[in-house]
Every structure is written in structure tokens, then in C-alpha cells.
Amino acid sequence: MTSRTGFIDRNTILHRLNPAMKLCALVSIAVATIVYPSWRLSAIVLLSILVCFRLSHVPLRLTKGRMKFILTFAALMLLLQIIVIENGSILFYLLPQIGSLGPFFPVTDFGIERGLDIVVRFLLIIFSSILFVSITDPTLLAYSLVRIGIPYRYAFSLVLALRFLPLFDSENNIVRMAQQSRGISLEVGSIHKILRSVRYTFFPLLVSALSRVDSLSLSMTGRGFGYSDKRTYLRITHWSPSDWAILAISVIFTIFCFILALGLLPQVSRFL
């Protein structure tokens, strides 16, 4: 089952991992990638993330919609870096010399290296985030955050946000259809028209949202939200040995990247 929050419900080992641990692993990858910007190390982690997609039965759909946009954007970033950076040894020219004209746009080893540094890290952060969202039940994530000490009122705001996102999305569509049905087209010709267009969209959505907030607040209070400092949960998240093992690997990996970034392992960083 695929939800509009992005979660794809499957029964795989990755889905069964503790959501809080998955969040820690995601943060570890992001921090490590920023601390030690190496495309080789990032490529190794990216490869393992792609394996995880396979293991969790989450389809990548590289040629569709959002994913297609991400890959195109990454390719453009790589091209831009290659064109802009002229430092390093020249490998070849994008536009070779024709007669007395050119050559133009030298491609250097440093330019390629910098481009890959940026693009591979960009893809790693995006793909690991998509994997996290796809294999993590948001409700269980909120519950597991409570278990590690975050007050349930704050953790629950995550569930509420995800609950109402699809609703506001559909209300936005209805408001736009209601505008069209009255012949209103959103215009941007002048400040006055821009403000009017914003008002015509923003006011109906705001009023609708506020009226829902009142009802929701009564509904939650009417079911005892805030009755005690603690809550029980229908679905309980556990920490299994594999959770601890992956958490340990994530922490060690982050520390390793800090050590590499500080130049304490020059013989290793030469290869990464």
C-alpha cells in the first residue's frame, strides 16, 4: 500500500527496523557527507542505498516524474561544474579547435572531480531521504520519538501535519476549480492583481484550515488528549539487536568521516 505521505507498506527487514534508528542513520549519512565531501565515499554509500531500495521492494521509477527531474537536475549540475571550473589538467575541450577558432570549454580533471563531488552527494542525500520516507511508517516514527524522550505533544504534530497535508492539497485543488468555475483567472499583471490572486486563493484556504483547527482541537480534547503526561500506544516500536548494530555502524561511519576530514588518516583518504 502506497500512501500520499510517501510511505510504502511492505513487510521487509528494512521496514521492520526501528523508525528512530532509521532517522539517526539518515542524519548520520547527511552529516558524514557534508563533513567529508568525497564522491568516491559518497558513491559507495549511494550504491548501498540503491541496494536497500531493492531489499525493501521500493520501486525507484527513475524515468518517471519527480525522479526524472532529480536526475536531469543532477546532470545539469555536473555539466555546469565541468564548464565553469577551468583549474586542473585539461583532458579535452567540449568545443575543439576548428581552424583558427577555439578551442572552447576545457574539461579538466579537477572540474570533473568537483562536479562529481557535488552531484553524487546531492543524489545520496535525496535517495537516502526517499528511502527513509518510503520505509518508515510516520505514525510509528512519532511514537518511537516519544520513546526516546520527545514529549508526545510535539511528536504528534508530525502525525497531524502528515494527516492534513493531503487534505490541504485537495482543498487547494477545489479552490482553484471554484475560481475557474466563476471565471476567475489568476493574474499577475500588476501588484494589485497579484495581491488579488493571492487573496482569492489564500483566504478560502486559511478560513477552511482555521475552522478545521477548531473542530480538531475539540475532537482531540474530547478524546482525552493531554489527560496524562504519558500515553499508551496500540502499536509499539521495539529496538532489536539489528537496530543497535545499524546505529553503531552509522555512528562509527560518521566518526570515521570526521577523522578523514581532519586529515588524521592520510593513507586512507588518498583512496577516498
The dihedral sign for the CA sequence 77, 80, 82, 86: negative
Query: Does the protein bind other proteins through residue 192 (CB under 8 A)?
Result: no
- Binding status of residue 102 toward other proteins by CB under 8 A: no
Per CB under 8 A, does 194 bind other proteins? no
Query: In this structure, what are the phi and psi dihedrals at residue 108, rounded to the nearest 5 degrees?
Result: -110, 160
Q: How far apart are CA 167 and CA 211, in angstroms?
A: 13
Quote the least distance from Cβ 233 to other proteins, whole Å: 6
Query: Which of 15-23, 44-52, 216-224, 244-252 is the region at the interface with other proteins (rule: CB under 8 A)?
Result: 216-224
Handedness of CA 141, 146, 150, 156 (dihedral sign): positive
Nearest Cα residue to 142 out of 18, 6, 15, 10: 18
DSSP state of 34: H
Span near other proteins by CB under 8 A; candidates 2-10, 29-37, 42-50, 118-126: 2-10
* Binding residue (CB under 8 A) for other proteins from 53, 73, 233, 239: 233
* Cell 482569492 sits on residue: 200
Q: Is 258 in the site for other proteins (CB under 8 A)?
A: no
Contact with other proteins (CB under 8 A): which of 27, 220, 262, 268? 220
What are the phi and psi torsion angles at 201 (to 5°)?
A: -95, -45
For other proteins, the binding residue among 27, 51, 216, 264 (CB under 8 A) is 216
Whole-angstrom distance, CA of residue 263 vs CA of residue 272: 12
Q: Which is nearer to other proteins, 102 or 226 (CB)?
A: 226
The answer to whether residue 157 forms part of the interface with other proteins (CB under 8 A) is no
In terms of CB distance, is 98 or 229 closer to other proteins? 229
Q: How far apart are CA 205 and CA 49, in angstroms?
A: 39
Among 86, 166, 252, 264, binds other proteins (CB under 8 A): 166
Assess 225 for contact with other proteins (CB under 8 A): yes
CB atoms within 10 A of CB 176: 14
> Is residue 149 a contact residue for other proteins (CB under 8 A)?
no
Residue 158: which region, alpha, beta or left (left: phi > 0; alpha: psi -120 to 50)? Answer: alpha
Considering only residues 24-83, where is the footprint of other proteins by CB under 8 A?
none
Cell numbers linked to 69: 527531474
- Which residues here bind other proteins, judged by CB under 8 A? 1, 3-5, 138-139, 156, 159-160, 162-163, 166-167, 171, 174-175, 177-185, 199-200, 203-204, 207-208, 211-212, 214-228, 230-236
